[in-house]
Amino acid sequence: MGLSTHVLDTMHGGPAAGMQVQLFALEGDKVTLLKSLTLNHDGRTDAPLFDNHSLKVGTYRLSFDVAGYFKAKGVQLPEPNFLNVVHLDFGVAHADQHYHVPLLVSPWSYSTYRGS
């Protein structure tokens, strides 16, 4: 079923188009970069992060460049920023299921959940 993500900008009330995101695999202390990408006009990736056949059981990290995104939108942020890069570590226990990891974000808060 794969892995996908979606980011909504709650400050401006729309998708976080242009946000930079990285996907990592985590194994103990080892962190391996798998993909770097930019979210499209809908705040999503153009293709799944993993398709039905490539998602494996394991632990992963999605890193969202929140400060870079809001700075690019012209938002005046304090130095240092309250949020810089938001890291979400999550586990995939069932590779035959779809894992959707949405992020709702402003310069001062974020929320996530396992979506469908």
Q: Model pTM?
A: 0.96
Rounded distance, CA 75 to CA 71, Å? 5
Question: Sorting pLDDT into bands at 50, 70 and 90, what band is 52?
Answer: confident
113 marked ligand binding residue: yes
* Residue 55 structure tokens: 């998602």
Rounded distance, CA 110 to CA 43, Å? 15
In the chain, the amino acid numbered 1 is M
- Upstream peptide bond of 80 is cis (omega within 30 degrees of 0): yes
Rounded distance, CA 51 to CA 71, Å? 32
State the pLDDT at residue 116: 84
Give the distance from CA 85 to its chain's centroid: 10
Question: Sorting pLDDT into bands at 50, 70 and 90, what band is 109?
Answer: very high
- State the CATH number of the domain containing residue 53: 2.60.40.180
Q: 101: domain range?
A: 2-112
Question: Sorting pLDDT into bands at 50, 70 and 90, what band is 105?
Answer: very high
* Residue 80 structure tokens: 């240092």
Q: How many domains does the chain have?
A: 1
pLDDT for 5-51, tens place per residue? 999 999 999 999 999 999 999 999 999 999 999 999 999 999 999 99
Rounded distance, CA 1 to CA 51, Å? 6
* DSSP code of residue 93: S
The whole-number average pLDDT for the span 97-110 is: 97
